[in-house]
Amino acid sequence: MPEKTHPAPLRLATFLPFRLSVLSNAVSQRIAELYDREFGLSIWQWRVMAVTADTPGISATEIGQRTQMDKVAVSRAVAGLIEVGYLERRPSTDDARRSNLVLTPAGIGIYELIVPLALAEEAQLVGALSEKEQTELARLMGKLAKAASPERDLW
């Protein structure tokens, strides 16, 4: 007579999706708090600023692709940034549906204040790893990203 079968064990603490989620939340929360406290920005607004600084004249749709935000989130973040005067909407000449988005001088100023702080946060985080480990982590995350979402490139 066979033994009662043991169900496969599942410890949350070793379950990758859980660990990833907890780690990501811990990291995001630190950094989100910084953006909000110092500059009154949400993490979504910050992401929009970052890609707009990188690619002035970008459209909302492109922002969504680069940041993995859905179009509603982009729309709201953009509206908020325009409201506080960090972003400007320029009608596109060749397609009246889209706008070309650019940071205002004020937006650029804030962006340049945030960048070093954000990089410092990141540095503090990855400072726990050696150069080699950092490279390896990036490589492994890339593999996971492809496995998790083969259809579209996550980054």
Per CB under 8 A, does 25 bind a copy of itself? yes
Partner from DNA, a copy of itself, none contacting 95, C-beta within 5 to 8 A by type: DNA
Partner from DNA, a copy of itself, none contacting 129, C-beta within 5 to 8 A by type: a copy of itself
Q: Which of the residues 30 through 69 are near DNA (CB under 7 A)?
A: 42, 44, 59-62
| DSSP SS3 for 23 | helix
Of 54, 66, 52, nearest to 100 by C-alpha is 52
Partner from a copy of itself, DNA, none contacting 106, C-beta within 5 to 8 A by type: none
Instruction: Give, in order, the Cα–Cα distances in Å from 21 to each of 15, 27, 133.
Output: 10, 10, 21
Per CB under 7 A, does 104 bind DNA? no
Q: Which of the residues 73 through 132 are near a copy of itself (CB under 8 A)?
A: 112, 115-116, 118-119, 121-122, 124-129
Partner from DNA, a copy of itself, none contacting 11, C-beta within 5 to 8 A by type: a copy of itself
Of 27, 47, 17, 149, nearest to 58 by C-alpha is 47
Give Cα 54 distance to the centre of its chain: 14
Report whether 61 contacts 98 (CB < 8 A): yes
Of 105, 95, 43, 109, nearest to 73 by C-alpha is 43
Q: Which of the residues 42 through 71 are near a copy of itself (CB under 8 A)?
A: 47, 50-51, 53-54, 66-68
